[in-house]
Every structure is written in C-alpha cells, then in structure tokens.
Amino acid sequence: MNLRSPGPTPCPEDVLQAMGRQMIHHRSPAFADVIGRVTEGLKTIFETKNDVFCLSASGTGALEAMTVNFLSPGDRVLVVSIGVFGDRFATVAETYGADVTKLDFEWGTAADPQAVEDAVREGGPFKAVLVTHNETSTGITNDLEAIAAAARRGQPGVLLIVDAISSLGSIRCQVDEWDLDVVATGSQKGWMVPPGLSMVAISERGWKAFEESKMPSFYFDLGKAKDFLAKGQTPWTPAISIFFALDVALGHLVKEGVDAIIERHQRIADLTRSGIKSLGLELLADEQHASNTVTAVQVPEGVEWKTLYQMLQDDYDTLIEGGQGPLAGKIFRIGHLGWVSDKDIDLTIDVLRQALPRVGYAVPAASRAS
C-alpha cells in the first residue's frame, strides 16, 4: 500500500526485519547495549546534550509525560495552539489541574511570536509555555526558534515544553541551541519506526521543574526513567521490539546526518506542494509556514471526501488522511515524512489526478497533460 499518512509511516525493510529478532531480557547487558546506542543516536538527531528517554507509549503518552512530570495542580501555563494537537496539549494540562491560558491562532496559520511574547508578558507570570512545533492537523510548522525567544523575552527563564512529535527527525529542531526544556517526539513519525515508543529530552531547567512538580505520575515518571537509564534499563518492561527497530533506523539517520535529513524533507515537501498546485488544488496552510512533514489540502467544492478516501484505498491502494475535528471533510492530508521518496509523491499526485475526476473534480488540462 502507498501509505501517505503523517504517521504511522512506512518503514524500511531492515527496520521491520529488526523486529523479527527474538526477545532479549530488558535487564540484561544485551538490552543495555541497544538502549545505550539508541540514546546516543537520539541525542545526535535532537541536537542536544540533554538527557533523552524512551517511553513505551505513543505520542499522546509523551504529552502526558511532559505535563505530569513538570507541572503542579494550579500552575499557570500558556498553551499556544494552532490546531488539534495544540488543543490536545491544553486538555492534557487541564486534566491534571494546570491553570491553562490558551493562545489560539486561526487553524491553517502559524503562531505569531510577537503575540506569544505579549501574552507571556501581559498574562504572566507562567510556570511554562506549551507549544506544538509542527501541527499535524493543519500542516503548519511554527517558527519554534522565534517563539522560544519571544516567550523568553516576555518572561526570562520561563519553562518551554514542546510537542515536536511530528517535527523532530524531519524538520529542524535544535533543542540546545534554542534552549528548549522538554521536547518529545514519537517513533512512528520521521523516525521510520512503527508506533509504540515516544522519546523525551529534558534540560537542566526541566529537571528543576521536575523536582518541584506535584502532579501524580507513575508509569510516566521521568525521574525513574533517569535512574534506570543510568543502568541501561527502563523502569518498566519496555517495547523491546520497537527498540530493535529504532536502533536500526537511527543507524540510517545518524549516517545521513541532520542537515541531509532536513534537506530531504524540504525537497519532498516542495515536490508535494507543487504537485498539489499542478492539480489546481489549494493548500490549507499559509505556504510560508507549510509543514515539511504533512501537506493539508482543501477538499475541492462538490467533492465528497469519504468517497474519495475509500476510492483511493480500494482502487489505487493509496491511503491519505482526512481532516480532524472541525476540518473533517474539508481537507485531506498527505504525509511525507520518514521513509518517503520522490517516487512515492509522484505516485500520490498521479493517483489523485486519476481519482479526482471520478468524484466530480475537473483536473486542469495542463496537469492532465503532464
């Protein structure tokens, strides 16, 4: 299948085969080797010297871990939201008793750093600013470097907690250079690995907040994760097979190098956007902030998304995702992160060129000729 979802993504054959390895014990030297190598590889791609931990849970588990380990009930936090995942981050923080101030931007646009600075300065002080780097629901990448700097101009030393689930490993996210405190991603995104692990980096400022945190946590207790990682272990039985997969995938990524990974995603995203425009379709996103991991496309007038979605799977063996929440039925989203080639995108555009006329959309003549 041509799986063009923004996660899970297809995985290289050797990554999948790695999971065929027989079980080892998670408190044995064999596992310590794996987690040691994985942790170093992650630090390279995160561009950080901070601690990085793997949790046996998918990205939403990481959102929870980033909340309960660093905040206390009643803590005032600013959540910068530009879509479904920003809203989810706010809901998680509220669930555990944080006092959330929401700074919303129109879906399909990026957060304005100046507005973040103003909100922090005027509405603060805040314990933390929670922000989504790449909003998968709208295909927008926030200018995280600028937002981080803006938040710190508004309130020096404010804790920065970042959902980088669909950016890290695909889109530039310099954890140390941008002075980000808590940053998480998920294995099924740019990492070319099946879902089941999320990875979290924690700065020194993050550990200070951890010491003060009073929200309850057990499974996601990152203090325990730190104690056990020192022994080459995790506190609880980890998803060992996914570690095997991540180990192999990180081998590829570290060899490719961060700059090359970022450039590859930029090139493939450009190809996707120009392909979509060649079909006469409109992007949802303000193109200046269009994501290099997922492209959101407006469903053309008169086209029934559900019909197209099903037809793409049944007749073209291609899966692209619809919109979430208020965008359901209004947009579709093409994932182009992780293990993806120019050929995959060409195929996807070609499939759309064939399918769209069958659901009532006239593809421009120039595109049909191409």
Least distance in angstroms from the C-beta of 220 to a second copy: 8
Q: Contacts with a second copy in 180-199 (CB under 8 A)? A: 186, 188, 194-196
Q: Which CB, 7 or 232, lies closer to a second copy?
A: 7
* Contact residue for a second copy among 52, 54, 64, 150 (CB under 8 A): 64
Of 46-54, 57-65, 100-108, 351-359: span binding a second copy (CB under 8 A): 57-65
Q: Which CB, 29 or 357, lies closer to a second copy?
A: 29
Least distance in angstroms from the C-beta of 122 to a second copy: 29
Q: Which CB, 151 or 248, lies closer to a second copy?
A: 248
Q: Per-residue contact track with a second copy, 226 to 245, x per CB under 8 A?
A: ---------xxxxxxxx--x
Number of CB atoms found within 10 A of residue 217's CB: 18
Task: Output the 3-class SS for the chain.
Answer: CEEECCCCCCCCHHHHHHCCCCCCCCCCHHHHHHHHHHHHHHHHHHCCCCEEEEECCCHHHHHHHHHHCCCCCCCEEEEEECCHHHHHHHHHHHHCCCEEEEEECCECECCCHHHHHHHHHHHCCCCEEEEECEECCCCEECCHHHHHHHHHHHCCCCEEEEECCCCCCCCCCCCCCCCCCEEEEECCCCCCCCCCCEEEEECHHHHHHHHHCCCCCCCCCHHHHHHHHCCCCCCCCCCHHHHHHHHHHHHHHHHHCHHHHHHHHHHHHHHHHHHHHHCCCCECCCHHHECCCEEEEECCCCCCHHHHHHHHHHHHCEEEEECCHHHCCCEEEEECCCCCCHHHHHHHHHHHHHHHHHHCCCCCHHHHHC
Q: Per-residue contact track with a second copy, 93 to 122, x per CB under 8 A?
A: --xxx-------------------------
Rounded Cα distance, 276 and 273, in Å? 5
Q: Contacts with a second copy in 282-301 (CB under 8 A)? A: none
8 is a site residue for a second copy (CB under 8 A): yes
Q: Which CB, 7 or 275, lies closer to a second copy?
A: 7
* Contact residue for a second copy among 10, 113, 154, 190 (CB under 8 A): 10
Q: What contacts 216, CB < 8 A, 6 or more positions away?
A: 68, 96
Least distance in angstroms from the C-beta of 329 to a second copy: 15
Q: Which CB, 144 or 239, lies closer to a second copy?
A: 239
Q: Contacts with a second copy in 69-98 (CB under 8 A)? A: 91-92, 95-97
Least distance in angstroms from the C-beta of 8 to a second copy: 4
Q: Contacts with a second copy in 311-350 (CB under 8 A)? A: 313, 319, 321
Q: Contacts with a second copy in 250-289 (CB under 8 A)? A: none
Q: Which CB, 5 or 278, lies closer to a second copy?
A: 5
Which residues of this chain interact with a second copy, rule CB under 8 A? 1, 3, 5, 7-11, 16-17, 19-29, 56-61, 63-64, 91-92, 95-97, 186, 188, 194-196, 216-220, 235-242, 245, 313, 319, 321
